[in-house]
Structure 1
Amino acid sequence: MGKILAIDYGEKRIGLAVTDDMKMIAFGLTTVATAEIFEYLADYISKEKVETIVVGEPKQMDNTASESEVHIAPFLVKLAEKFPSMPIKRHDERFTSKMAFQTMIDSGLKKKQRKNKALIDEISATIILQDFLKTL
């Protein structure tokens, strides 16, 4: 059994989350600078058994692709080239940033801590992954 790795893509940073081996629980993993993501993924995948990658799919309220999809499409092509045998799935990520921010408030983080965009990206990836797990 392997893990599922989730990616919340951003032009500056990418939030990452991963499941346990039984694919029951999603955990925030880290946030990586977008320019360094493929090096990080190659290292992580070489050490951990990852069987699927889930990439957040930003959509508008009318279900059409978000403007940021223009940046994600080339990333997906390169991801598939770098990891050709890895299944890559997409999952709706609408409202994950808002949900991540609310999670930070609910967990009692101070205002200064809630401004940490890297933490928001990591929590967003975790929410994407938790939601994806419900579809399995």
Structure 2
Amino acid sequence: MGRILAVDYGTKRTGLAVTDEMQIIASGLTTVETKELLQFLKDYVSKENVEKIVVGLPKQMDNTASESEVYIQKFLVQLAKALPEIPVNRVDERFTSKMAFQTMIDSGLKKKQRKNKALIDEISATLILQSYLTSVQ
């Protein structure tokens, strides 16, 4: 089995999370500048056995696509060209940013640390990945 990599796509920064090889535990990987995302993913996949990529699917409360979906669709086209051998799944990412912020509070992070948007993005990617793992069990 290979790892599953999750992407919480943003126009400026993108949070990433990954499973262990047994696909049991979702852990935050890092946050990268979105302009460097494809190159980061290509480099990561060349070093690690990645079986699948999970990308967040932002939706409004009425189940329609969020504004950011336009940018994600462009990214997905580029991703398919860059890594055609790796399947991509989408996972509803509603509330992940709020849940990530609450996770930071619950874990005792100080107010200054909770302002770290990169950390929020990484935790959001972890929540997306955990949601995917739960849905396929």
Show CA shifts across 1:9-61 (max 9, x none). 00000000000111111000000000101111111000000000000000011
CA RMSD of aligned residues (A): 0.5
Question: Is it true that 1:11 corresponds to 2:11 in the alignment?
Answer: yes
User: Distance in 2 between the 1:77 and 1:24 partners?
Assistant: 29
User: Distance in 1 between the 2:39 and 2:66 partners?
Assistant: 27
What pairs with 1:120-131 in structure 2 (closer than 5 Å)?
120-131=120-131
Task: Give the aligned residue type for 2:94.
Answer: R
User: Distance in 1 between the 2:114 and 2:107 partners?
Assistant: 10
SS at match of 2:109: coil
The answer for the alignment partner of 2:77 in structure 1 is: 77
Structure 1 stretches of 4+ with a deviation exceeding 6 A read: none
Task: Give the aligned residue type for 1:119.
Answer: L
The answer for the alignment partner of 1:63 in structure 2 is: 63
The answer for the alignment partner of 1:133 in structure 2 is: 133
Normalising by structure 2, report the TM-score.
0.98
The answer for the alignment partner of 1:23 in structure 2 is: 23
Q: CA deviation at 1:62?
A: 1.2
User: Distance in 1 between the 2:104 and 2:67 partners?
Assistant: 26
Between the two proteins, the alignment pairs up a number of residues equal to: 136
SS at match of 2:17: strand
User: Distance in 1 between the 2:7 and 2:65 partners?
Assistant: 17
Show CA shifts across 1:60-83 (max 9, x none). 111110111011110010001101
What pairs with 1:47-62 in structure 2 (closer than 5 Å)?
47-62=47-62
What pairs with 1:81-100 in structure 2 (closer than 5 Å)?
81-100=81-100
User: Distance in 2 between the 1:47 and 1:122 partners?
Assistant: 20
Normalising by structure 1, report the TM-score.
0.99
User: Distance in 1 between the 2:32 and 2:62 partners?
Assistant: 31
Gaps in structure 1 of 5+ consecutive residues = none
Q: CA deviation at 1:135?
A: 1.3
Percent of aligned positions that are identical = 73
Question: Is it true that 1:105 corresponds to 2:105 in the alignment?
Answer: yes
